[in-house]
Amino acid sequence: MPRPTIYVKACINGARTPDQHPHLPVTPDELAAAALAAHQAGAKAVHMHPKTPDGKDSLEPDVVAAAVTAVREAVPGLPLGVTTGFWALPDADARRRAVEGWTVLPDFASLNWHEPGSPELAEVLLGKGLGVEIGLFHLEAAASWAESPMAEHCMRVMIELQGHEDVAVADAMLARIAEVGSPAPVLLHGLDESCWPLLEQAGACGVQTRIGMEDTLKLPDGSIAPDNAALVSAAVELLSR
């Protein structure tokens, strides 16, 4: 039986701030360099959080445009996604207006289904021709997504688990999503303590996964990773065993 294709997406910064790691990419040039290195290490796509100079996530059109432009120039053709995280602009109407103002577009955007205003924002993203990755943090969100049009129209379903959650939770989420029959591929990932165990589980289940400084700052042996490329390399090596 052939080995499933390894699909690793690099999540190169997340909502983390520079005080958490000296090489967390923040500026457009840093994001571009990190995306290129992650791709060279084996990442098939990149997800990033455009940031203000002090490291805070931003959905403002000019910040998104600068980040997307820099990565596009450094790695032409690499599938590129950005966050729409509610924490970056915690007002549903303001968040929607900010995204409506995007003029320099990534290929896709992640959208956490449990966040306020997400169904409406999904329509905005689709209207711009963007792929929509639906982030499902728990079974309640999965049930709501299953009853929505996005079960048919999202480009990817992401099971996004927290540090205390384990393989049993992941398997329950995978089973629930499989029942829906969505055509979208599934990606499973964890955070901090659950990151590497759930990455291995994703490989065992033949679903997509991701790795990067958004999800962990540590390599499988517990040492601090020097950069995103080292995390991607470790993930590809682990999944290739």
Q: For residue 8, report the phi and psi dihedrals to the nearest 5 degrees.
A: -120, 125
Q: What is the mean pLDDT of the chain?
A: 97
The pLDDT score that the predictor gives to residue 3 is 54
Just give the CATH number of 8-239: 3.20.20.70
Better-scored residue on pLDDT, 208 or 2: 208
Query: Which residues have a Cβ under 8 Å from the Cβ of 226 and sit 6 or more positions away?
Result: 23
pLDDT of residue 44: 98
Other C-beta atoms lying within 10 Å of the C-beta of residue 28: 21
Mean pLDDT, range 104-132, rounded to an integer = 98
Q: Is the pLDDT of residue 50 over 70?
A: yes
- On whether the CB atoms of residues 172 and 198 are closer than 8 A, the answer is no
The percent of residues in the chain predicted with pLDDT above 70, rounded, is: 98
| Residue pair 53/23 in contact by the 8 Å Cβ criterion | no
What pLDDT is attached to residue 5?
A: 80
- Residue 20 φ/ψ region, left for φ over 0, alpha for ψ in the -120 to 50 degree band, beta for the rest: alpha
163-188: pLDDT as tens digits:
999 999 999 999 999 999 999 999 99
Judged on CB neighbours under 10 Å (0-12, 13-18, 19+), 184 is buried
Segments making up each domain of the chain, as ranges = 8-239
- What SS3 class is residue 51? strand
Q: Is the pLDDT of residue 221 over 50?
A: yes
pLDDT at site 141: 97
